Amino acid sequence: MTGICRNRLKGENIGSNYHIFLNSVEGIYWIIRNAGLTPDNTRVVCSQSSGKQNTAKLHGFPISRTADQTKMFNFYTSTAFEGCDIYDERGRTFIVSEPYKTHTVPDISTSFIQIAGRVRNNIYGGEVIHLYGATGNQRTVSPDEFERATWEAVEKTEHDLEHINALSDQMKTSIIRNLPYINGKFICEEDGKLTVDRNMAKYEIVNYRIVNGVYSSQITVENEIKKNGIGIANNDSYTAPKNIQAMTQTRTNFEDIYRRYSEIRHEKPIMFTTDWEIELSEAIYPFIGDAYTKLGDEKVKALKYRVGAIQDALTAMSRVDTDLKIVEMADRRFPKQTPIPVKKIKEELQKIYDTVGVNRRAKATDMGQWYDTVTSPKRIDGKNVSCMTIIRSRFVRSDF
């Protein structure tokens, strides 16, 4: 998408305004920064209720409303996916899905169709350009198993809440106040009573099926699009160049790529270059630009060019809540729906605490603050090892 925006600035598709639907404030800012977009030619429509955090993620780039004047580039998060009308005769619609960020992957049968109808009265006859990558996910837990585990968790939680709700108001208030998941995805509190939001559970199940089924390959995406009565016309002008595809599909050495990236950036600032090596490096490692500008060569070298350590350093210095930093680092370390030895979880969580400045001893059970988990023994090297499986995140993000 960054390259497409750059080409528009250079005069391609003169007269067209781009309406880009991407449910990630951070992803939107990455495009803005790397394409050299400005408030004069760009507006961003995202959640106003999360204004402070979204402004921080946009590094001060102004937040607009759908009613504001359209510009050459118009970005929208899920706050504008449904129920709003955008009038722009020259408006082209782009839907961008980042394969490893589940919240950016719209359900083709519902959200996709809703987005497709947002830009009214345009001259492009219902054309929608969908930019996506296949996840290739081969999960240990199948969609059916995930659904079964979800409903088991819901029923257990409802049973527990029946006992809590039967307590005296004073005792119940005390318990509610100390529940770490009171503002989580499934449990809500109203007039002192706890209930489970079953609709949110259904949403989680559908989302899991989308990411681990529909978006697992180009074929399954296209089949789902056809099944919903949408025509397909592949356009190579919106397809990643073969050199990018080849390099992103093979193992690459971050140290070599970073050294070359730094060398080019020293010679010519990013705003003055469209060097294909820069674009290729950022396609493979989207955080490499921040590593160069925010950490610098010496810090990256001190971290021994280790990708995880560099990403953690960038997360630690970001202007977001501590819980969000912990979850972002944990998401990179711990695969979902896969048994992980409890000892390893405790060790890695302690490293996260040390990085973000949380002064306490890590326990594996701490993961329950941010995730739904199941702990059970697993046979490893002939021994029974206590393992934890992370089912899903229960952390409520406010970045869309």
pLDDT digits (tens, 9 = 90+) for 308-323: 899 999 999 888 888 8
pLDDT for 239: 52
- Say whether both 116 and 41 belong to one domain: yes
What CATH number is attached to the domain comprising 96? 3.40.50
pLDDT for 212: 57
- Say whether both 154 and 303 belong to one domain: no
Report if residue 60 sits inside a domain: yes
Average pLDDT, the chain: 76
* Of 39-53, 71-85, 95-109, the least confident: 95-109
- Calpha distance 86→117 (Å, rounded): 9
- Say whether both 225 and 260 belong to one domain: no
pLDDT of 237 strictly over 70: no
- Say whether both 281 and 388 belong to one domain: no
- Tally of domains within the chain: 4
pLDDT for 101: 62
pLDDT for 291: 93
- Say whether both 87 and 186 belong to one domain: no
Where residue 36 falls (left for φ over 0; alpha for ψ -120 to 50; beta otherwise) is: left
pLDDT of 249 strictly over 50: no
Percent of the chain whose predicted confidence (pLDDT) is above 70 = 68
pLDDT for 213: 55
pLDDT digits (tens, 9 = 90+) for 191-236: 767 777 777 676 666 666 655 555 555 555 566 556 555 565 555 5
pLDDT of 350 strictly over 50: yes
Task: For residue 345, name the pLDDT band (cuts at 50, 70, 90).
Answer: very high
Report if residue 398 sits inside a domain: no
Q: Which residues contact 219 (CB under 8 A, 6 or more apart)?
A: none
Look up the domain containing 278 and give its range. Answer: 248-316
Tokens standing for residue 119? 């830009």
Which of 285, 316, 347 is where one domain is finished?
A: 316
Cβ neighbours around 382 below 10 Å, total: 5
Dihedral in degrees, nearest 10, Cα atoms 367, 363, 356, 99: -30
- Say whether both 114 and 234 belong to one domain: yes
What number is the average pLDDT over the span 357-373?
89
pLDDT for 154: 75
Task: For residue 242, name the pLDDT band (cuts at 50, 70, 90).
Answer: very low
- Say whether both 102 and 8 belong to one domain: yes
Report if residue 400 sits inside a domain: no
